[in-house]
Chains A and B, each alone.
Chain A
């Protein structure tokens, strides 16, 4: 028969052991990951909504010359609509993607102007 005192001691010891095991087995950077300075350095994994839209808009630059004036106008408008979302991103992403979006928009606007100029 086990004494109740021993039982409670054993349970307490087990709890401590489990807690220690969890503490040791967890990744070494757990405390760092909860640090806002570090967590913002983690690379994004899932493709976010803004990025899907960005990819879709900018994947068409190769075909810019084949688009109609209406299609090009729509692409320029989509670029303009996406910009505010990109401006909300962290400092680095904002810097990278505003630059990339500016290039896509610039090309579509350039071809659009060129097509408008061609029109008699």
Chain B
């Protein structure tokens, strides 16, 4: 084998290697009903259960972000809360609403985790939940299971204003038009608060020539999130204009990307943020 052939082979190998590595990291664009889906597997596998599949779309249509992420205390990162069955049984996290008592839209919210297994396992006995109990478990522990849902995404989304990306739903308009009425306060859980003093909207300069500036609406964000959900955990800069945001950081889940890569409309919907008339 001569020198030229060796170099050519090396170039081909490098090229192929790069191509394969890129294919491996390419993110699949989620389907509308998958957008916002969170898989929770802190303890499921180790307890012989399928991981929990949490659908944001149905929950966000009933409750504001603040109710769950501030008042109930769910972390903003998947798996970071460390929810376990005992927490739910005590009436916290999922068990706050999934207690078999709460009624939402005329339906009783099914109870989450069972009491018996944890008590029996503490006593060192074998856990043998009934078939009915197991059916209840898989309503949440549904990864890879064929579970009949109470809500069908396509039925649910049919009348709602459409958007091109994310869930394919314009959530903001859906609320404006009264299709959804997210609850912002849970009796016995949320702290009673006065109505919020709305902060002014402000503009952020776009870095790319010709790209419209961003109009950040405090009003839109505080109605669903309150203040403490974003400050200081997500936005820690205290002086306006001193924090710099880049699309690379945002796409990695920093600042706006904490929600706008996961649940809120995605970054592909440029003009939703870059909206200042040019």
Contacts and interface: CB of A to CB of B under 8 A. Distances in A.
Contact of B236 (A54, A90, A96, A110): A110
Nearest to B199: A65
B197 A66 contact: yes
Contact of B232 (A61, A92, A109): A109
A62 B229 contact: no
A62 B70 contact: no
Contacts of B91: 43
Contacts, number: 89
Contacts of B71: 100
B228 A106 contact: yes
A66 B197 CA distance: 9
Interface in A52-103: 54-55, 58-66, 90-93, 95-97, 99-100, 103
Interface stretch (A5-13, A14-22, A34-42): A34-42
Contacts of B93: 96
B87 interface: yes
A59 B228 contact: no
A62 B73 contact: no
A110 B226 CA distance: 14
B265 to A, nearest CB: 24
A107 B238 contact: no
Contact of A107 (B82, B193, B199, B231): B231
Interface in B27-83: 70-73, 75, 82
B194 A63 contact: yes
A37 B142 CA distance: 28
A26 interface: no
B185 to A, nearest CB: 11
B92 A92 contact: yes
A97 B72 CA distance: 9
- Binding site secondary structure of chain A: helix
Given A59-B192, A61-B227, A110 B86 contact: no
B228 A104 contact: yes
B231 A110 contact: yes
B179 to A, nearest CB: 27
B227 A62 contact: yes
Contacts of A43: 90-91
Contact of A62 (B86, B87, B197, B238): B197
Given A59-B193, A103-B228, A96 B122 contact: no
Given A100-B71, A103-B228, A106-B228, 8 more contacts: A55-B191, A61-B193, A65-B199, A90-B90, A95-B82, A106-B231, A106-B233, A110-B238
23 contacts: A37-B122, A37-B123, A38-B115, A40-B90, A58-B191, A59-B193, A59-B194, A60-B193, A61-B226, A61-B227, A62-B195, A63-B194, A66-B197, A92-B92, A93-B90, A95-B73, A95-B82, A95-B92, A96-B93, A100-B73, A103-B233, A106-B228, A106-B232
